[in-house]
Structure 1
């Protein structure tokens, strides 16, 4: 869009000129930040000879009353101002050929009395001064063709004695001197197109002898090291090479090639490696390639001959004849777009061209025909704004163009992609979320919470602070690095420039790995209780209803992969085969495909046993089920990730109806859990181990054995844990009702007996249920036990190393003799967390809500049971009764 001044544009003083802008209608710029700065309100400022210094554009411009002088701009109206009026009044110093040499601006200018000479500037008025009056007096040395080599600035100049020759400067008057008098005497060698290629100065020059004309010369910065490099066109006319450009270590240039005319050449810095690429336009005139410019490893240039096929258009080359071709014929046929003013802007080529209907306007290309398009029609329709002097200033396009009403003025086009900085703000050790701030370098649109990828954390509240600042709360899911990442191209600025991505990481140290013990009732009240490692009750809940008295079987693991221990429950006899999963952080039933389901036909009411383990190594613990007494030995494995049935098999003879007790553990060290089974009442103490995804019998010393005498038919309970810290989960067993409290631990490595003890009074025959977890973090799994019916709710934990008493507590009232089930596990939870609350779910049979009168039973207070254990078991029988019954049929 064109711009008008908001206030009067009269100038108080040249150095203090402030430009203010206003947007008008009917201008379709690429970006709201692409605008015109009207330096000369009374005419054309015609800015040109742009150069960058410390991120600021310096250039020559005509203010009218001040003439053409040195100006600077940061791309804003307020930051566009005169640097210094080198030649006071309306006369012009006319700065040209501006170049940044080691942080100082060098250029030619006419200060008045000394003619056009070498000047320098640090960007301030006081720091803008004459370097040396090379052609003493009012005459001009007119230095130009600046190029740096090994910390020295080289250029062409005329001192009045030696003609136009090769000079150098270190920025001081004493350090400014003639390098070589190429054309000896008063004649001029006219070194032109100076270019540093691989540490050597290349240029075109004429030594006035040997009939070589203007040919390719080199210099190492000394007189003796300045010499003819190659006579490309033998004879007196010369090849006149120029437009030197480095493309990935190859120097491109244009030069005459005799009868082929002026064409495109390449050089690797050796004479043998200097050769013609292609005769682009046959004939004596040649293609006359110009404005050679590198973009992304490709040379772009303009074929300036009126080729009958294409006219004067934009071309490109990869350094081969076949790879030298037209980019796009903007004006089809022999008509010409007259592409010019080529510049590489952040990997995109911008240039001026006439596409036919829009006049001479600003174009851009990615090097393909489809990607060559009008960037901006500054004057809509057929009139031309004629952009010129295009320059890349720190990623922003500066140029001159004619807006029509304001004349030829300074234009700025912002095409730099918005950058992003992500900053985490505290929260690494507290219970609060970590706040990540996303700050773009400019206003963007399209940025959403879904564009942020979070690792080891859960995304929370996403807030738009303003158009370039956003925040996201992230709650870590485990200790370690929490990383948020934003990819490239998810948002764009007002110009349509896509953002550059970023990522940030902060280490979270807010979690404790907490050992947990879970008990479920065997009969009576169907309550589940969660305890810490010392037997302090953390919470309790009814997975079904308080009215259900069939008991609840429990297992523990991380089903949903959040690091928090999940409690898996199954109803006992009288309940349907419903499995539910609850989070141990006091949340209600978890959601997902495997959090509430029927493992078998809903009409089956024999009760279930459950176990948990990752059988397929997908990072999610899977759920294993088996029927209780009255059901067949039908084991099923359900995926914790998607709920699919991973495997199913019969652990024993399909006709056996004593039920199957199950556990899961890695008994072979392959990183996945195997399924361990034990027969229920009526079957022998037969322990088996199966591969979890196939249901196949596992090989090994402890995968198919009898834990007790073969004629023991009380049934056996089973658990798994690495009791001896050898990397393999060992197998823990205990008899069911009718057998004594005789606990055994078998090595999964060789089947040897690791532990062998009585968990309670040897005379107790109510059966013992077992579990395992590492309560004291010594690397050894500890053995958990609870008694069956007729025993009190006495939970115990024995050290896996030496059977030391680690925990000893009551799960519920000491007078309760319904029996318990037990399991254990580790939960990764925040150091500080909100208060827990009990919860409930519907019954497995009907799904109905419990009556109001039962609410007081659900809201169980948290308790720690520490009463003494003396005389707890009054109904003991002799341990000899353990050894009776029949073996299982197989």
Structure 2
């Protein structure tokens, strides 16, 4: 579960605090026996920002400071720097905020104040307006709320009350309106995940001893919460993944035990839940991945056993499912990844076997599936990744072979594809990610020359600037 993975990564920062925050030492030219150690001496010298979330004119995020641990921070815009929003768990241990989602003028998140464990919190972007919503699981263990999803004018999430396992919950934003909705396999082993809203329903997956982990749906009440279909009959899981909402339907990947992992579709009814197409016939699996919508079709990468992993599309029927283009002829495959829609085009990373892994685009036809730019010329790969659509441009990370992994952007043309900034000069990587437009600038996380993840702002015109204080240099 993505939220649990984030929590695990967050807890790793506790170890960093005990180890003086994992700074990278460098020998000095004047005295190789001494080292320059970057330190978080200034109040705004945070590292490892994540969970960037806009709230009116402010940008909220989670970051680590050696004095406070992992906590919530806020910045108001250019020239204002960044400050600790509130030290929810005073001291260096940190409250580990995670899962931030803006709803009704507040940002909701999970945090641990050291007394109640990981529970549901909210903030309006001010210290006084930051408070715990409810303590679902009394004591230090916490209910670990995760998978925040807005559905039918409520905030839905998954949490563990200590007795019923991880179930569906919803809240109107306060303790009185917070309640458990589901009682699926109520007990310590219950697991609900993958909340996906499609039309007037919310699909999710859940586990029962009789059916294993399968597809469920709710219209928003306990009575309407039900198993959609036992896709792989019996207690074995069908391995449902990659839920994608398309109108009132949901597409996903699963195996019924006969066909291997293939593409499925559901309208929330047993009869309307079916295999779309068996691309790799029999027990072989085509393993569809990177599902994305473009117009009336769902696009995905899959392996049919003859062409390698290539780009496919479907209208939801077996007859209307076809390979878009065999980009790399033969059985090796072009391995399309990170499929992202922008302006009626689908952008993705792939290789045709001549150029390396580069940026491609497709309008859904074979003729309209073309290489955007060979950023690392020849067989070398620029390996585009971390795609984000900001206004009318696609932002991504890539390595052109000269500048290391840096931020890039494109309007879909070769001339309009260019490096946005060289954060770490030369061939070293800054590894940018979490691109976000806020105000008149683009914010993202990237490593500085010492390898510390920092927050950067790139204005519409000009050079990128560091948000927050610089790490102080100390000889030792």
So what's the TM-score if we normalise by structure 2?
A: 0.68
**Partner of residue 131, structure 1:** 181
Partner-residue secondary structure (3-state), 2:283? coil
In structure 1, what is the equivalent of residue 220 of structure 2?
A: 171
Aligned to 1:576: none
SS of equivalent residue, structure 2 residue 306: helix
* Gap change, CA 1:114 and 1:382, over 3 Å in 2: farther
| Whole-angstrom CA distance in 2 between matches of 1:163 and 1:343 | 35
> Could you tell me which residue of structure 2 aligns to residue 364 of structure 1?
409
Change (3 A) 1:230 1:135: same
Is the contact made by 1:302 and 1:340 (CA closer than 8 Å) also made in structure 2? yes
Map of 2:384 onto structure 1: 339
Q: Contact 2:310/2:336 (CA < 8 Å) preserved in 1? A: yes
Alignment of 1:607-646 (within 5 A): none
> Cα–Cα, structure 1 residues 234 and 42, in superposed 2: closer, same or farther, change >3 Å?
same
Which protein, 1 or 2, shows the higher relative CO under an 8 Å CA cutoff with sep ≥ 6? 2
Aligned to 1:316: 361
Aligned to 1:269: 316
Distance in 2 of aligned mates of 1:387 and 1:120: 35
Q: Distance in 1 between matches of 2:458 and 2:112?
A: 24
2:419 and 2:126 map into 1 onto residues whose CA distance is 26
Q: Is the 8 A contact 2:355 2:377 kept in 1?
A: yes
Shift of residue 367, structure 1, vs aligned partner: 1.4
Distance change in 2, residues 1:390/1:112 (3 Å) = farther
Residue correspondence of structure 1 range 325-336 to structure 2 within 5 A:
325-336=370-381
1:223 to 265, 270, 275: 270
| Conservation of the 8 A alpha-carbon contact between 2:407 and 2:420 | yes
Structure 1 residues 198 and 115: alpha-carbon distance in aligned structure 2, compared to 1, 3 A threshold: closer
Partners of 1:401 and 1:234 in 2: how far apart?
A: 44
What aligned pairs does 1:782-797 form with structure 2 within 5 A after superposition?
Answer: none
| Cross-structure match for 1:348 | 393
Take 1:283 and 1:45, find their aligned partners in 2: how far apart are those partners? 52
Residue 83 of structure 1 contacts residue 125 of structure 1 at CA under 8 Å; is this kept in 2? Answer: no
Alpha-carbon distance in structure 1 between the residues aligned to 2:218 and 2:440: 29
Q: Distance in 2 between matches of 1:34 and 1:331?
A: 37
Aligned in 2, Cα 1:241/1:366: closer, same or farther, shift over 3 Å? Answer: same
**Helix, strand or coil: the match of 1:331?**
coil
What whole-Å deviation, never above 9, does each CA across 1:341-399 have from its counterpart, x for those lacking one? 21222222122333445544433221122322333455555554434455679999776
Structure 1 residues 327, 133: CA separation in 2 closer, same or farther (over 3 Å shift)?
Answer: farther
Matched, 1:32 2:78: yes
1:190 equivalenced with 2:235 (yes/no): no
- Residue 293 in 1 paired to residue 340 in 2? yes
Question: Shift in Å at residue 329 of structure 1?
Answer: 2.7
Specify the SS of the correspondent of 1:260.
coil
- Contact kept, 8 Å, 1:344 with 1:392, in 2: the verdict is no
Aligned to 1:240: 287
Instruction: Tell me if structure 1 keeps the 8 A contact 2:44–2:83.
Output: no
Deviation at 1:264, TM superposition (A): 0.7
Alignment length, in residue pairs? 402
> What is the SS of the residue equivalent to 1:363?
strand
Within the candidate set 147, 152, 155, 1:105 is matched to 155
Aligned-residue offset at 1:167 = 0.5
Tell me the distance in 2 between the aligned counterparts of 1:353 and 1:207.
Answer: 38
Aligned to 1:731: none
Contact 2:206 2:215 in 1 (8 A): yes
CA–CA distance in 2 between the matches of 1:159 and 1:175?
A: 17
1:158 aligns with 2:207: yes
Gaps of 5+ in 1: 23-30, 416-491, 497-890
Map of 2:166 onto structure 1: 116
Partners of 2:339 and 2:348 within 8 A in 1: yes
- Which secondary structure state, in structure 1, belongs to the residue aligned with residue 381 of structure 2? coil
The within-5 A match list for 1:644-683 is: none
- How far the C-alpha of 1:319 sits from its partner, in A, is 1.0
The equivalences for 1:367-386 within 5 A come to 367-377=412-422, 384-386=429-431
Listed as ranges, the matches of 1:510-525 within 5 Å are none
**Residue of structure 2 in register with 1:843 after alignment:** none
Residues 341 and 389, structure 1, Cα contact 8 Å, conserved in 2: yes
Residues 332, 227 of structure 1: alpha-carbon distance in 2 compared, 3 angstrom cutoff: same
Deviation at 1:162, TM superposition (A): 0.9
Partner in structure 2 of residue 5 of structure 1: 43
Q: What is the TM-score normalised by the length of structure 1?
A: 0.39
Q: Distance in 2 between matches of 1:110 and 1:329?
A: 49
CA distance in 1, matches of 2:104, 2:129: 15
* Matches of 1:141 and 1:220, distance apart in 2: 22
Aligned-residue CA RMSD (Å): 4.6
- Superposed displacement of residue 235, structure 1: 1.6
C-alpha distance in 2 between matches for 1:35 and 1:357: 31
Change (3 A) 1:168 1:257: same
Contact 1:337 1:354 in 2 (8 A): yes
User: Does the 8 Å contact 2:201/2:248 carry over to 1?
Assistant: no
CA, structure 1 residues 262+295, in 2 after alignment: closer, same or farther (shift >3 Å)?
same
Where do residues 730-809 of structure 1 align in structure 2 (5 Å cutoff)? Answer: none
CA positional deviation for 1:154: 0.6
1: CA distance, partners of 2:405 / 2:119: 27
Aligned in 2, Cα 1:20/1:279: closer, same or farther, shift over 3 Å? closer
Distance 2:155 2:81 in 1: 26
Quickly say closer, same or farther: Cα 1:302–1:18, change in 2 above 3 A: closer
SS in 1 for 2:217: strand
Post-superposition CA distance 1:554-613 (Å, at most 9, x none): xxxxxxxxxxxxxxxxxxxxxxxxxxxxxxxxxxxxxxxxxxxxxxxxxxxxxxxxxxxx
Q: 1:90 to 1:350 in 2, by over 3 A?
A: farther
Residue by residue over 1:21-68, the C-alpha shift from the partner in whole angstroms, topping out at 9 and shown as x without a partner, is: 69xxxxxxxx82797676899589987756553466656678899877
Stretches of structure 2 that go unaligned for 5 or more consecutive residues are 1-39, 47-64, 465-476
Contact 2:154 2:170 in 1 (8 A): yes
CA shift in 2, pair 1:381/1:177, >3 Å? farther
What is the distance in 2 between the residues matched to 1:253 and 1:313? 17
